[in-house]
Chains A and B, each alone.
Chain A
Amino acid sequence: MFARGAGVTLKVALLSAGVALLMSLLAGLGSGSRFAFVRAICRLYIQLFRAVSLLVLLFWMYFALPFAGIELSKLLSAVLAIGLNIGAYGAEIVRGSVAAVPKGQYEASIVLNLSQSQRLWRVVFPQAFVRMLPPMGNLMIELLKATSLIYFITLADLTYEAMILRNNYYIWTPYIFGMLLGIYFLLAACITMAIRILERKFTAWR
């Protein structure tokens, strides 16, 4: 039964991570755009979604939106709420990492006559990527923890299944929760390890 819950947790986590990473890239890179309009939209997204309470956003998307005519499934509400919220934090990380690339790299690319997109993808982003990994890793752990909130909209994740288990096996409550904590801890450790492997792979040149 835990396995089923774990499956749901992982599914929500992976999908929202996808949304979050996409938004991080779009808004993070967009913050440095030439066009003031694009920059403004990115700033608005980042400020707004960093300021919302995730649980409230989740509730609003699942319970309130239907009354405005938009009905989202539990899965979609969860993935969008978590993805957009975490994505705003990720965008800040991307933006900061890109800004940390030394100006000389831009200048060298200019005098070598690289196009703007060549400059971004061949020179700037590879260097920003390495700087992004540790904070992004932490953010992904936050995302994993955020998935537990889908318990509130009765999406049958790990936490939800644990509560059901507890109803049937009341005596074992401490162990159930203890084990639940342990499972999350293991998943978080996997993420940390994955980030470390990525880091080692990409920083050979440092």
Chain B
Amino acid sequence: MWDWSYAAEILPGLLKAFRNTIGAALAGFGLAVVIGLVLAMFARSRWGPVRWVIRSIVEFIRSTPLLVQLFFLYYSLPMLTPLSFSAFATGVLGLGLHYGTYLSEVYRSGIEAVPRGQWEAAKALNLSRVKTWFSVILPQAIPPVIPMMGNYLIVIVKETPTLSAITLVEVLLSAKNTASITYRVFEPYTIAGILFLLLSLVLSFGVSRMEKIMKRRYAG
């Protein structure tokens, strides 16, 4: 059932594809961090219609599967607009949009945890809105929620195999291809699974370490 020599043979190829996995995950996470912040800031806009639009977009994206969103971006977008991206770029865009909405909620909880007095003090000092956001509020809102954002990085890593549906060659697709060439199925999929497990556990450990550091710094 399990052939060690075969496993060793296919490992380098799978690891190479795993690099794609990690690359897409990091890029997607990076984009999500930015999009999430934008969404969170606009969700607090003074204008009601803007808030409503943002909330609807966030609701919609969060309630629908990443897979379908990827299909839409990869197949439908080129038909509606002159835009057309590579599989990697589309994947990153899809991850960024999808998880940007989740991260906007995380930002929101961090922002709401900043005492009201900070906003009032900034206003009293006549700081511009931009200055208020970037010099006063965000530096206080973001550090406590970094562990939570770390958790979402882990989620994104585990979601990257979905990108294989739009032909991005990450580790699962690579495993599938390997299996179809040699007809030995057990080792490729098991190795892929173990790679994710290990990465996930290592990242989880890192996140809980970060949580402990944050708690020590910000508790009380």
Residues of chain A at interface, number, CB under 8 A: 40
Interface centre among B1, B67, B179 (most CB of A within 10 A): B67
Majority secondary structure, B binding face: helix
Report if A184-B64 is in contact (Cβ < 8 Å); known contacts: A57-B193, A173-B76, A178-B72.
yes
A60 with B189: CB separation less than 8 A = yes
B123-146 toward A: CB 8 Å interface, digit per residue (1/0)? 000000000000000000000000
A10-34: CB near B (< 8 Å → 1, else 0) gives 0000000000000000000000000
Chain A residue numbers with a CB within 8 Å of B172 are 53, 55-56, 59
In this complex, the interface size class of chain B, counting residues with CB under 8 Å from chain A, is 35 or more
Cβ of A93 to closest chain B Cβ, rounded Å: 14
A181-B158 in contact given A59-B176, A59-B189, A64-B190 (Cβ < 8 Å): no
| Complex interface bits, B44-78 against A, C-beta within 8 A gives 1, otherwise 0 | 00000000000000001011111111011001100
Q: Which residues of A contact B (CB under 8 A)?
A: 47-48, 50-57, 59-60, 63-64, 66-68, 141, 144-149, 151-152, 159, 162-163, 166, 173-174, 177-178, 180-181, 184-185, 188-189
Q: Write the residues of chain B forming the contact surface with A, with a CB cutoff of 8 angstroms.
A: 1, 60, 62-69, 71-72, 75-76, 79-80, 157-162, 164-165, 172, 175-176, 179, 185-186, 189-190, 192-193, 196-197, 200-201, 204
17 contacts between A and B (CB under 8 A): A53-B158, A53-B200, A54-B158, A55-B172, A56-B172, A56-B196, A60-B189, A63-B179, A63-B185, A64-B186, A149-B65, A152-B164, A152-B165, A159-B68, A174-B72, A177-B71, A181-B60
